[in-house]
Amino acid sequence: MAEARKLYIRTYGCQMNVYDSERMAEALGGNGYVEVSSPEEADMILLNTCHIREKAAEKVYSELGRMRELKLARPDLKIGVAGCVAQAEGAEIMRRQPMVDLVVGPQSYHRLPEMEREAGQGAKVLDTDFPEEDKFEKLEARPKAKRGPAAFLTVQEGCDKFCAFCVVPYTRGAEVSRPASRILDEARDLVDRGVREITLLGQNVNAYHGAGPDGDWSLARLIRELARIDGLARIRFTTSHPNDMGDDLIAAHGECDKLMPYLHLPVQSGSDRILKRMNRQHTAEGYLRLVERIRAARPDILLSGDFIVGFPEETEADFQATLDLIEAVGYGSAFSFKYSTRPGTPAAERPQVAEAEKDERLQRLQALITRQQRAAQDGMVGREVGVLFEKPGRMPGQMIGKSDYLHSVVVDGPAPEAGTLSRVRILASHPNSLLGECI
């Protein structure tokens, strides 16, 4: 048998890219590739890229610059660019960095094996089409290899919301939901391979409306059916849009034991003026009322969010309204970003906030979030939580896992092995993790 060729994938951006990278590695497995962990030993390098902010997109070109050295030393090396930069910039990538062999957009991954063969014959190949078919069904079946205890599963992709700052509707295309039966099959397969926790992924995951045997299923219905799979212990989903948080999904948070008490629910801003300019289609008050309803269904739920500071025309008063909203909600964690101008999006043309102002606002917002995050973590001390153990810690005998609330929890030995779901008493709160003991 020919020696396996070596594939190195570097993944940027969101969890969906992590999932896509797994699927691409599996698909290229059919072409005789095995994954390796360093670019130096690879026969093919694939960068799975993110276009969400300018820095993320530019990183790709500096990375390609470094890869160029490898290719000069080994001309047989193939270099591919996948993901959202591939979609957004297409042929421009090969123009800026001519040693790139292959450019493939997120909706064309089913063509990757064929494209790799063409590239192997010396062709430059590019595909950034938006075909109608479900690309995942066209990809080869996932091999039966053992898996870690936690896995991602994409159920919905794309976005029809067109927030004024965001490239995702252009890079991922229109909202598409995968059929429920395919998702259930994939989930059962993951569980057979050792997975105990599945995070359902979508750019607007709660807008899910995939075909089921008896009409379209909502995300809540899908979760209830997934919960019937023996051996699957935990279900999560991300990312949700506030306007798609239906009553049935809120109810599921109160009724479905396997659905974990953690919800990422981005709001971006607390100012109605800015929310309107962002085209978010909801108000700050509407968001706060939604949070109340979610907490009524599941009082201990931990919320996280995304915030953009320095959106065009954001005043100090608008920013203050965001801080007020954060105070009112009390987040368990949050991600915050300085607004980044994205070519082709409506907000790019509007009056921009000065960089120094953005920096200052980001610092103030992050200080508040850090305080809330610490408070939420400290509040766990003395409590008993479920922990799914995933990997050994730094000290001998230690194991690290995720709590129901998605905190990292470290337990000293003798600790249970990876894949075990245990009840753990939280003993102490450290900056980035909790210390616990198994009960």
The partner residues of 438 in beta bridges, in order of sequence, read 424
* Residue 438, annotated as binding a ligand: no
Please choose which of ligand F3S, ligand SAH, ligand SF4, none residue 169 contacts, taking the beta carbon within 5 to 8 angstroms, the exact cut-off set by kind: ligand SF4
Stretch that binds ligand F3S, among 166-174, 192-200, 297-305, 363-371 (CB under 6 A): 166-174
Question: What's the Rg (C-alpha) of the chain?
Answer: 22
Q: Is 50 in the site for ligand F3S (CB under 6 A)?
A: yes
Identify residue 214 by its one-letter amino acid code.
D
3-class state of residue 24 by DSSP: helix
Contacts 24+ apart (CB under 8 A), 132-137: 134/176, 134/178, 134/179, 134/182, 135/107, 135/108, 135/109, 135/110, 136/23, 136/110, 136/178, 136/182, 137/110, 137/182
User: Residue 323, exposed/middle/buried by CB under 10 A (0-12, 13-18, 19+)?
Assistant: middle
CB of 331 or CB of 405, closer to ligand SF4:
331
Count helices and strands in the chain by DSSP H and E runs: 14, 21
The entry of ligand F3S, ligand SAH, ligand SF4, none near residue 162 (CB within 5 to 8 angstroms by kind) is: ligand SF4
Site residues (vs ligand SF4, CB under 6 A): 159, 161-163, 166, 168-169, 203-204, 241
Q: How far apart are CA 28 and CA 113, in angstroms?
A: 6
Q: Which is nearer to ligand SAH, 365 or 387 (CB)?
A: 365
Please, what is the minimum distance in Å from the beta carbon of residue 416 to ligand F3S?
33
Smallest distance, ligand F3S to C-beta of residue 48, A:
8
Distance CA 354, CA 406 (A): 35
Nearer to ligand SAH, 50 or 388 (CB): 50
Q: By CB under 6 A, tell whether 52 contacts ligand F3S.
A: yes
Q: Which residue has the tokens 């023996």?
A: 230
Element (H, E) at 131: none
H helical segments located in 121-174? 135-138, 168-171
401 contact, one of ligand SF4, ligand F3S, ligand SAH, none, CB 5-8 Å limit per kind: none
- Identify whether the C-beta of residue 342 lies closer than 8 Å to the C-beta of residue 165: yes
- Dmax (CA) for the chain in angstroms is 68
Among 42, 67, 79, 84, binds ligand F3S (CB under 6 A): 84
Per-residue interface string for the shown chain with ligand F3S, residues 197-226, x marking contact by CB under 6 A: ------x-----------------------
* Short-list 317, 156, 369, CA closest to 244: 156
Distance of closest approach, residue 322 Cβ to ligand SAH, in angstroms: 12
Does the annotation list 256 as a binding residue? no
CB of 166 to ligand SAH, least distance (A): 4
331 vs 337, beta carbon nearer ligand F3S: 337
C-alpha 42/C-alpha 67 separation (Å) is: 11
201 burial class (0-12, 13-18, 19+ CB within 10 angstroms)? buried
Q: CB under 5 to 8 A by kind: which of ligand SAH, ligand F3S, ligand SF4, none does 339 bind? A: ligand SAH
> Contact 334/307 with Cβ under 8 angstroms?
yes
Residues that bind ligand SAH (CB under 6 A): 52-53, 165-166, 168, 203-204, 239, 241, 266, 268, 306, 308, 337, 339-340, 342
- φ and ψ at 427, to 5 degrees? -100, -35
With beta carbons less than 8 A apart as the criterion, state whether 314 and 353 touch: yes
Within 13 Å, how many C-alpha atoms sit on residue 215's CB side?
2
Contact status: 266 vs ligand F3S (CB under 6 A): no
Residue 163 annotated as binding site: yes
Residue 47 binding ligand F3S, by CB under 6 A: no
Closest CB to ligand SAH among residues 339, 389? 339
Among 21, 97, 108, 171, contact with ligand F3S (rule: CB under 6 A): 171
Footprint on this chain of ligand F3S (rule: CB under 6 A): 13-14, 16-17, 50-52, 83-84, 167-168, 171-172, 203
Binding residues for [4Fe-4S] cluster: 14, 50, 84, 159, 163, 166
